[in-house]
Every structure is written in C-alpha cells, then in structure tokens.
Chain A
Amino acid sequence: MKGLLRKDFYMMKSYCKGSILLVLIFLGATIVAHENYLFLLYPFLIVSLFPMTLLSYEEQAGWDRYVGAFPYSKAAVVSSKYVVALLSTAAVALIFAAGLLIRGAFVSGERISLETCLGIFLSMMLLGILSPGLLLPFLLRFGVAKGRVVFICVVAVLAAAVGALGSIAGGSGADAFFLTALNPVGVKFWLFCLAGILYYALSWGLAIWLYRKKEL
C-alpha cells in the first residue's frame, strides 16, 4: 500500500494545491474569529473531497483499471483512500487544535487545556470522516460520476448531523456542537467517538467488500 499512498501524495500535491490553500484560509479565519465555528465546516468539507478528487483524476487517467496490473490487493486499493481521508482530516484537525493552543498562549483568558485540545481534535476527526465514510464505498464501487449524486445527499446529511449533534449537546447548530467539543468530559462525547470509529470501520469494510465485486 506504500506505493499507492505515495502516488496519492504526489497527486494531492499536484491537484489539491488550491483546495489546501482554501483550507488554510478558512482555518485561519476560524482561529482568528474566535467562536465563529461555522467557518470550520468548510475546511472539513473540502478535505473530505480529497479522496473523491483523486478518484476522479484516476478514472480520467485509466488508473482505476491499470491498478489491476500491479501487485496491490483490492483491500489495499480501498484502504489507501481511507488512509488518505484519515490523514488529511487529522492534519487539518491538528492544525486547528494547534492554532487554538497558540492563540490561547497569546490572548489572555483564552488559554485552553490539553484535554480540551484533544476534544477539539477528536470532534474535528469525527466531522472529517463523516463524508468519506458515506461516499467512498459508492465511489469505489460505482465510479465518480454516479458517486456525485451520493455526494449531494452526503452534504445534506452532514448539515443535518451537525444540527442534530448541536441540539443533543444542548444548543442549536454548529456553534453548540463545537462548544460541546471544547468540553469533552461527558460520556456522551466518548460515545460519539466510539460511534465514529465504528461508523468508519464499517464503511471501510463495506467498501472493500463492494470493491472486490467490481470488475476492472
């Protein structure tokens, strides 16, 4: 799988430059405009598109078929995209958490604990894996063109999920959800994390199962 990940890295470097810049701008805006967490949805939405972007370029080049000529298992082909989604989400979540830590160090009264930082990181991860977890099984099995329809549904589900999580957390909308994330001490939070891990693992397994049925 190392070869596949290296290929994905080269492709992201080439095809996702603009998106990475946008992600950094939105992250910066969220860190500076403290407590306006709605901005934070965009970086994660953009990052969640990375595997879809890669798959789209791969299809265009014929790599989706050519990959069958190399000693990669079908599980490895699928897993590389899940790992890319995890790593890119983790990178954005880390940058954001680090940004808040740095801001806390310089702005009086906004110092945050490492526990809060971990909470933010995990909440961001949960948000980041939502979309790839829903999309990847369909994109890998049916291709990007048909997968786009699923993506539209995913965006709707994502918005609804954030709203629902916010209201469960005792408020409404994205801000309430992220404020809960800043205080990750309750059982509810860790249940969310567990549910997120299960959800991603199930999606990963489903994608491998579906992709094994695909003829290249």
Chain B
Amino acid sequence: MNTLEIKGLTKHYRGFALDGVDLVLPQGCILGLIGENGAGKSTTIKLILNMIRAEEGSVRIFGKENVASMPSVLENVGVVLDEVGFPGCLNTAQIGKIMEDTYRNWEEETYQGYLKQLSVPEKKPFRDFSKGNKMKLGIAVALSHQAKLLILDEPTSGLDPVVRDQVVDILGNFTREESHAVLISSHIVSDLERICDYIAFLHQGKLMLCEEKDVLLEEYGLAHCTAEQLAELPKEAVKGSKSSPYGAEALVRKSLLREERERQGLQISPVTIEELFVYMVKNADQGRKD
C-alpha cells in the first residue's frame, strides 16, 4: 500500500510554477525530494499538507484525499517545516503540554527521550534557541505522537554533522516499522543518499525523475573519456557532460552503452546521487537554452 500518492500536482505563482508533479511513497520507505533552492520542494510539501490550494491534481495520504481528510489525518503525520515556528516565549515543557492537548497519541516520555538524545535545552525559551536546536525540537515533536508518516522540509539544514548523523539514524530507525514512511526534502544530498529508498529530483517546478535509489545507482555512471569519444556516444545515453582540456566526463545510462563500452573500452565509474542531480540539472538548463 502507498502511504502517499501525488498525481498531477500543479500550482502557479508569479515567476514560478509547480508543474504536474507525480510522486508515490510506498509504506516502509523513505523518499528523498532533492532540488535546488526555489525548485518547488516547500510548495510541494505545503500542497500535501493542504496549507495552500492546488490548482490541479490530487494528493492522497493513507489512501484518503488530503483536502477532505484534513486536519484529522495530521494526527498520524509528523511534520517539520523549513522553519520551526513555535512562539518565542515557550520552553520545551510548555510545548510538550500544548502538544499533549493537541495530539490524541502524544507520548511525553518519547518526547523527553528525544529532547535528551538530541541535547535540546530544556529551560531556555524557544527564541533563544539556535537554528539547529529549533530544528531538533521540531523533529522531537514530529516523532512523539505515533506518526506513521513523517514529512520533513529541510530538517538537517542548520544542524552540525554529528547531529545530522543522529537525525539520519533516527529516521532510519523510524522506517524499520513497516507501516511507517518518510518524505524528506533537502539539498544536503549526502544525507538523503544514506537513508532514502527512493529519490525524486525537482527542478524549476518540474519533476525530473522519481526512482529507486539502488536502480539509479545501478543504471547511471560517470564515463571518463576524451572529447572525441564523448561526441561519438549515443545522445540518448548521455544525460549530462562536462569537458576540460584534460578530457571529458559524462553522466551516462549504462544500459544504453553496453556496445560502446566494449567497442571503445569506455571507463565508467559509479556516480553519487549528488553528481547525478548536478549533471541532470545542468543538462536540463542547457537543453532549455538550446
């Protein structure tokens, strides 16, 4: 069963349009939404949460249409937005009490456990928190009410590497439960590469791809060759390239290059998700200019 299904999601603003986005997040999986600033990640998340109205398309959470099932569906969804916006005068204990009155399944012990684990200051008012601590508190709240789906918008931004590692581990543990799923957006691609089962690239409001991470890493590679060799490669196999006086490097679909590899002895190295994203975005931008 799919925890989240998005079909043809469209929203226009002046100078930006989210254009017919389709996404599927199966139960027990983590989907990483990768995109540059302004790509439409936060808009997509707001549309999922019905914070803004879609012009076209539909969103189904746990099989129910989001507009009709809000806000009760949020009882089972933990959300961390790019800015955790608790009023500045509140401390963690007061926020805990507010959440106890907000969620039917609030677990104070779990909340306290995450606060300790993530070293969130307990006495300070929220306004005195660093950006990282604000985000950690948001994550603790999102994880403390038996949510089955986590929707996280840039949750690791502002966190130091040690805490980022902790958060990534927490999210990994969360999806050990088969009924759980996570949608996480970020431009810190290395974090997503570690934990995601599915990867979606969003660029200028358009979905470039949505695929299983392992399939992407298996299918794509970086070909190291000369400019002449690059020119001879089949165009449909090359998804982006860059040349320098010392040679050329191209993002290629390995399945479309089997013969070339044998014929030219082409060297293809594994690609990271970050390289994949950068090459694809540059290729898309180049294609648009041409």
Contacts and interface: CB of A to CB of B under 8 A. Distances in A.
Interface of A: 2-4, 6-7, 10-11, 14-15, 57-58, 60-73, 215-216
4 interchain residue pairs of minimum CB distance? A62-B85, A66-B85, A3-B102, A14-B89
Contact of A6 (B73, B80, B101): B101
A10 to B, nearest CB: 5
Contacts of A64: 85
Contact of B72 (A11, A65, A67, A71): A71
B71 interface: yes
A114 to B, nearest CB: 35
B72 A7 contact: no
A65 B86 CA distance: 10
Contact of A15 (B70, B89, B94, B102): B89
Contacts of B90: 7, 10-11
Nearest to B97: A6
A65 B74 contact: no
Contacts of B237: none
Given A6-B101, A7-B98, A71-B72, A66 B81 contact: yes
Given A70-B71, A71-B102, A215 B87 contact: no
Contacts of A69: 49, 74, 79-81
A14 B127 CA distance: 13
A111 B65 CA distance: 63
Contacts of B94: 10
Given A71-B72, A73-B70, 11 more contacts: A3-B100, A57-B89, A66-B81, A66-B85, A67-B85, A68-B50, A69-B81, A70-B74, A71-B75, A216-B46, A216-B52
User: What does DSSP make chain A's interface, helix, strand, loop or mixed?
Assistant: helix
B51, B70, B79, B103, most chain A CB atoms within 10 A: B51
A4 B90 CA distance: 13
B53 interface: yes
Contacts of A58: 87
A187 B102 CA distance: 43
B63 interface: no
Contacts of B52: 215-216
A216 B87 CA distance: 16
Given A3-B101, A10-B94, A72 B71 contact: yes
B75 A6 contact: no
A162 to B, nearest CB: 33
23 contacts: A2-B101, A3-B102, A10-B87, A11-B90, A57-B87, A57-B89, A60-B88, A61-B85, A64-B85, A65-B51, A66-B85, A67-B85, A68-B46, A68-B50, A69-B74, A70-B74, A70-B79, A71-B71, A71-B72, A71-B73, A72-B71, A215-B52, A216-B46
